[in-house]
Amino acid sequence: MAEEIKKNTIKYHPRRLTDSTADLEGTAALEKLCFHQPWSASSLELLTKDGIGVGYLCEQNGDIVAYGGMLIAVDEGQITNIAVHPNRRGQGLGLAIVQALIKHAKAARLATITLEVRVSNTPAISLYRKVGFAEVGRRKGFYTKPTEDALIMELKLK
């Protein structure tokens, strides 16, 4: 990403997720740390296939500390997950990843980006609103462990 995200004098430069074993296994490990139903390394590989999906990640000292993915269908993006290592939350990494995905979507001339987020995940909802997403719906009982509704949020690019 050309723009630098700066917080507490730390600059984040998300880079594309690749189909390398290190990227896929490192991202899968972060998924396991952050989610009750994590994506596997083989599932994450979809995010490395042009025309299907894209992923971005941030590293520190060789470890993947944040990542986000987006599936692409025609002119729409669907953010799959944004994950930030629990010890690194609140430092701007999630924002850097979301901005990288938005920049990619704009370059790909997508019309919209959508996502689902747990209704209780107020930090994520705040971040999404900050970059322009708006609530457009709700999915009852969408999440499990625990069962919870999802907000459907959308960012119009065109």
What's the rounded Cα separation, in Å, for the pair 36 and 113?
Answer: 24
Marked catalytic residue, from 116, 135, 148, 154: 116
Q: How far apart are the first and last CA of the chain?
A: 21
Q: Is 56 a catalytic residue?
A: no
- The answer to whether 38 and 28 are in contact (CB under 8 A) is yes
Confirm whether 116 is a catalytic residue: yes
Report which of 61, 1, 68 is spatially closest to residue 30, judged by C-alpha positions: 68
Residue recorded with tokens 């457009």: 136
Say which of 12, 56, 128, 143 is annotated catalytic. 128
> Tokens standing for 70?
């987006």
Q: Which residues are catalytic?
A: 116, 128
